[in-house]
Chains A and B, each alone.
Chain A
């Protein structure tokens, strides 16, 4: 479930770092919630004419010391010219405080700043005569400086950087890449660091799946809109897709039986185990049916009574 184009780079992990007990280990993987992605895309849409890319702060949690889970993102004001880069730190701080407040104190796991994001778009770098390949990675000259700033914010944990390709530039597909930074050079300087890619996955709760389905259905419709579905139509869709999947399996099995397709033992075993799990509930079925019918009857009765009660309250007073 990795996002973005496959990377041929070797993920170099700084294992010697983990041995120091004082500094927490560098994250080795990153999961990102769809809401964070959508916030970044929305921010990119709302950029001004002068901005060629937008940056912002990533909030999230650290389920284990070596993984980072990004759940929220918010935009940060910044300006980048050829000479200098400025990030509105005050804005960033107050926005973070508001995010923590808005979530309320009911949550046990605290949100914390885990890193920063930037959208792709590196025409400035190309103009400056840097190599094209460097620009395409969405990492500009100032990325190291901003990374250094966020390292201070996330201390003692190292900051992660998420580069999001919006897919609006030629030759660069949409995708998400994640990096951690590693100091490089003879002397440690803020602007010297190497960005090491780490694997990045989309992660959401099972119950949030339905919302994503709704968005997918609206994104595939021609004008980009959709109305919320009813449970029954949802069930219908699921049944249709199950039925088509079954017929695909059937076609494959028949092809194997006829000998036109080379049988694949792994696939066969998988199908065997899946189809073997059909529950045997012949006896329970009738009772379950009675229960459901009873519940349905009861629900209708309650609704009718409620309606009558509402009318009677009005009629009694006149």
Chain B
């Protein structure tokens, strides 16, 4: 008997919560203009620059160094702020050389999620912003790269970027990092998966317009800067100082002169690659030509049959009979679809990249040779 009355008494003593709760419709404060560039919920600010952290640079180079040439790839983690994509961490992805595709992709996904979770636990960034790929001699146009980037561009904020690291350039003394995105017109074609020549013409697509480059810069945070400068600073306690020469020489990071190396051992390999690229392109060209001949032949046969049918119909009409339909003739022949030009597009891009590397290496070689001669004769 007393329980309901108690509850009623309690309810009466409370300051009517229901009445207070109703007008609590969320009112959002307008984002102040000073913050509007920093808060970018819908990813409206286009990417203008990619900023690589020193840690990522070092990790990518080490990974490329460790694995067989051109096979190193991994994910990039970071954030975008005011149009700058800050890449702050990365981790390698295992190479999927096994043939069991579904199993591999599943375990790969598991690996990715558990890695991301682990990084979050130690306050690392866990937002995937793209991936990196190591290449050799500048050739990075490959089907898998385009496929991966196309998937990313659909799923990730800002579409993600791909960072291409050239191992051979780095071995020659120039750390090469470039950031790319797929162009909108290529994505359009890719989505329709229509790589026929007419579609390419319509989108004005050549190999040079598959990827667009995004400016890239390297950043070292102040802590790392100071640490690096300490490492690079000449240590005072070196055993043999060449104080007579004006400056002591030894430090943890001695100066390097690898850029002055005269040897052009890479040229032969590069030339081979170019020749191979041309061969591949010729094979692909042959395939395309064969396919187009096939199409032309089928079309011709269709035409002759149609012409025959029309003749027949004209006869039947003159005899006062109903003409036979023309559709079932065209149904008899299956005209194969236009051959995909994607492969030849990529092969051309590959070839162009090899030739470009070759060209720059030769140019550099010339400069070095004249420098060496000047040093020799004087």
Listed in ascending order, the chain A residues whose CB lies under 8 Å from chain B are 1-3, 6, 33-35, 37-39, 41-48, 71, 75-77, 91, 94-95, 98, 101-107, 166-168, 173-175, 201-202, 205-216, 218-220, 224-232, 234-235, 237-239, 241-242, 248-249, 251-252, 261, 264, 266-267, 278-282, 285, 288-289, 292-293, 295-296, 298-300, 302-303, 306-307, 309-311, 313-314, 316-318
B352 touches A235 (CB 8 A): no
Closest CB pairs A-B (n = 9): A317-B197, A219-B225, A296-B362, A299-B359, A238-B259, A299-B358, A302-B355, A75-B122, A210-B175
Residue B83 is within 8 A (CB to CB) of chain A in the complex: no
Closest residue on chain A to residue B358 by CB atoms: A299
17 of the cross-chain contacts (CB-CB < 8 Å) are A1-B250, A41-B55, A102-B91, A102-B94, A166-B223, A202-B253, A210-B169, A211-B61, A215-B228, A218-B217, A224-B219, A224-B225, A228-B216, A237-B259, A267-B242, A267-B245, A318-B201
Complex CA gap A106/B63 in Å reads 12
Complex CA gap A206/B216 in Å reads 24
Residue B28 is within 8 A (CB to CB) of chain A in the complex: no
Within 8 Å CB of B257, what residues of A? 238, 241-242
Residue B252 is within 8 A (CB to CB) of chain A in the complex: yes
From the candidates B93, B124, B215, B259, name the one contacting A235 in the complex (CB within 8 A).
B259
With A208-B62, A234-B173, A264-B244 as known contacts, state yes or no: A215 contacts B54, CB within 8 Å. Answer: yes
Within 8 Å CB of B264, what residues of A? 292
Closest residue on chain A to residue B227 by CB atoms: A174
Within 8 Å CB of B172, what residues of A? 210, 231
Complex CA gap A251/B242 in Å reads 13
Complex CA gap A85/B30 in Å reads 46
Within 8 Å CB of B11, what residues of A? none
Nearest Cβ on chain A to B199's Cβ, whole angstroms: 10
A48 touches B123 (CB 8 A): yes
With A213-B175, A242-B260 as known contacts, state yes or no: A293 contacts B366, CB within 8 Å. Answer: yes
With A228-B218, A230-B174, A248-B246 as known contacts, state yes or no: A241 contacts B255, CB within 8 Å. Answer: yes
B329-378, CB < 8 A from A? 341, 344-345, 348, 351-352, 354-356, 358-369, 371-373, 375-376
B146-154, B229-237, B297-305, B318-326: which lies at the A interface? B229-237
A207 touches B358 (CB 8 A): no
Listed in ascending order, the chain B residues whose CB lies under 8 Å from chain A are 51, 53-55, 57-59, 61-63, 65-68, 71, 74, 88-89, 91-95, 111, 114-115, 118, 121-124, 167, 169-178, 196-198, 200-201, 204, 206-208, 215-232, 235, 237, 240, 242, 244-247, 250-260, 262, 264, 267, 271, 274, 278, 281, 341, 344-345, 348, 351-352, 354-356, 358-369, 371-373, 375-376
Complex CA gap A209/B232 in Å reads 13
Closest residue on chain A to residue B364 by CB atoms: A231
A288 touches B369 (CB 8 A): yes
With A102-B91, A232-B367, A299-B358 as known contacts, state yes or no: A168 contacts B223, CB within 8 Å. Answer: yes
Closest residue on chain A to residue B171 by CB atoms: A207
A3 touches B231 (CB 8 A): yes
Within 8 Å CB of A314, what residues of B? 197, 200-201, 204, 206
From the candidates A103, A285, A295, A317, name the one contacting B373 in the complex (CB within 8 A).
A285
Within 8 Å CB of A206, what residues of B? 258
Known pairs A174-B226, A205-B65. 12 more at Cβ < 8 A? Answer: A43-B122, A77-B121, A98-B111, A103-B92, A106-B68, A210-B172, A216-B228, A226-B217, A292-B365, A293-B366, A296-B359, A317-B197
